[in-house]
Amino acid sequence: MAYQASDYPPFAVTVDLVVLTVRDDALQALVVRRGSAPFEGRWALPGGFVQVEEDVAAAAERELAEETGLQLTDVHLEQLATYGDPRRDPRMRVVSVAHLALAADLPTPVAGSDAADARWRPVDALLGGSRRLAFDHDRILRDGVERARAKLEYTPLAASFCGEPFTVGELRRVYEVVWGQPIDPRNFHRKVTGAPGFLVETGETTTRQGGRPAQLYRVGDATLLVPPLLRG
């Protein structure tokens, strides 16, 4: 049986971005205030429609650049999940391919042409507040945060939140902020410096944290942490 375009309802593909950074000693996400319907005035994750001749990965890179001014070389960017509930967008059937972006020292955002405002907001406030994000972005944000927290256990991803070079203390604070729990300094130091390929000494020290000079590191070439750093 032959099908025609008229046999199918309107359908679109979008990308949504969970962009996370550590600012003001808190895990923060980039959100934009929608300037038009649907959900006009509500906060939402940045993103947009995939163009007709555009690859999904290219759309994510484009939206990242438009919303943050960052290029792919500046951040860790990976595909998070696909969201396709038929009722997630009141305009038409829209499937979103969400991506997770992580970076250190991300700039203050500037609202794009279709957003009334853009800013960093603490993740705890976004997920624990009384006002939900637009569409199903609460779920996407929650999934992105959990992905980031889990990946800190078995990959060197935490270094994405640190500007190089960094100290073990600064790296530990990233883990504490992202995981939302205190970490024993001595035990942490032993584990991260003992994980093959995780940290590489630069041969330099700093006193920017106060006290005695602390060794400066950069991230090594390991892709997995063995053994993993487990929460709790």
Task: Assign residue 160 the CATH number of its domain.
Answer: 1.10.10.10
Total count of domains within the chain: 2
Verify that 37 and 119 share a domain, yes or no.
Answer: yes
Verify that 97 and 203 share a domain, yes or no.
Answer: no
Listed in sequence order, the residues at least 6 apart from 179 whose beta carbon sits closer than 8 Å to its beta carbon are 149, 152, 231
Verify that 143 and 169 share a domain, yes or no.
Answer: no
> Tell me, what's the pLDDT at 182?
96
pLDDT tens, residue by residue, 68-109: 777 777 889 999 999 999 999 999 999 999 999 998 877 777
Verify that 33 and 121 share a domain, yes or no.
Answer: yes
Whether residue 229 lies inside any domain: the answer is no
Verify that 69 and 17 share a domain, yes or no.
Answer: yes
Give CA–CA dist 180/185, Å, rounded: 15
Whether residue 196 lies inside any domain: the answer is yes
Verify that 126 and 163 share a domain, yes or no.
Answer: no
Verify that 162 and 81 share a domain, yes or no.
Answer: no
At which of 153, 181, 197 does a domain end? 153
112: pLDDT confidence band, cut at 50, 70 and 90?
Answer: low
Mean pLDDT of 185-192: 96
Verify that 149 and 160 share a domain, yes or no.
Answer: no
Mean pLDDT of 57-68: 87
Verify that 133 and 168 share a domain, yes or no.
Answer: no
Which structural domain range is residue 197 located in?
155-219
Verify that 148 and 171 share a domain, yes or no.
Answer: no
Whether residue 231 lies inside any domain: the answer is no
Mean pLDDT of 150-167: 94
**Sign, Cα dihedral of 68, 17, 143, 230:** negative
Whether residue 60 lies inside any domain: the answer is yes
> Hey, what long-range contacts does 83-89 have (CB within 8 A, 24 or more apart)?
83/16, 83/136, 83/139, 83/140, 85/136, 88/135, 88/136, 89/38, 89/135
Listed in sequence order, the residues at least 6 apart from 150 whose beta carbon sits closer than 8 Å to its beta carbon are none
Please say whether the beta carbons of 28 and 121 come within 8 A: yes
> Tell me, what's the pLDDT at 2?
64
